[in-house]
């Protein structure tokens, strides 16, 4: 899959000013846009390629590159089917953010229910490509749709009940993919240095991803 195509899917503009090789200057530009967004200077925000500065210093596309890189390191020794599904999950797990971006009451950028829309869009996209079986598509859909639930459940007993119920309905393998995605799907909070070489390697993995 070429990064230009993925960029169109995520932010809608192949030539977006924040698209390209990951650099500190691009991240600073993203922070500037966030501040202007909070001040109400933008009315159209779906294609700005930005996330919350509080939880994600990195730009949206850079975040995807990070998650893909982490997922690749986790599954590179697994069988081809596992790698195929895992990388697809990493690539598509936030694809609904473009359509769900909002400013909440305290001025933060939020993506409420983006995981549900991301799952729906992923299913449509994967069926259009013809390189995934229906079972593989359903697995990817389930994982993306449910991946935030474990993060939101803080109570130990409630979490354990959810996990047991999930495994019973969807199977052990789906739960393994969710656990992998949750390990990989971490933002870079304020004050933590950004490893731009790591992000660039993630972009290279995306470019080399052959199943699309």
Angle at CA of residue 155, ends 66 and 186, nearest 5°? 5
- Mean pLDDT over residues 32-48, rounded? 54
Phi-psi region of 87 (alpha: psi -120 to 50; beta: other; left: phi over 0): alpha
Q: For 128-180, what is each residue's pLDDT tens digit?
A: 888 999 999 999 999 999 998 887 888 888 989 999 999 999 999 999 999 99
Q: For 71-96, what is each residue's pLDDT tens digit?
A: 999 999 999 999 999 999 999 999 88
What are the structure tokens assigned to 112, written together? 């409420």
């Amino acid at each position: 899959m070429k990064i230009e195509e993925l960029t169109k899917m995520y932010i809608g503009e192949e030539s977006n000013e924040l698209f390209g090789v990951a650099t500190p200057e691009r991240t600073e530009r993203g922070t500037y846009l966030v501040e202007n967004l909070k001040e109400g200077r933008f009315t159209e925000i779906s294609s700005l390629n930005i996330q919350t500065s509080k939880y994600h210093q990195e730009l949206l596309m850079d975040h995807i590159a990070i998650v893909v890189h982490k997922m690749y390191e986790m599954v590179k020794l697994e069988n081809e089917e596992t790698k195929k599904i895992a990388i697809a999950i990493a690539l598509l797990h936030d694809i609904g953010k473009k359509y769900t971006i909002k400013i909440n009451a305290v001025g933060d950028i939020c993506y409420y229910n983006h995981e549900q829309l991301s799952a729906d869009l992923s299913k449509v996209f994967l069926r259009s490509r013809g390189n995934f079986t229906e079972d593989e598509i359903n697995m990817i859909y389930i994982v993306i749709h449910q991946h935030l639930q474990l993060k939101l459940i803080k109570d130990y007993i409630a979490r354990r009940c959810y996990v047991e119920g999930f495994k019973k309905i969807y199977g052990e393998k789906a739960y393994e993919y969710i656990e992998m995605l949750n390990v990989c799907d971490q933002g870079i909070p304020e004050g933590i240095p950004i490893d731009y070489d790591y992000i660039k390697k993630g972009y290279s993995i995306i470019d080399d991803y052959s199943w699309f």
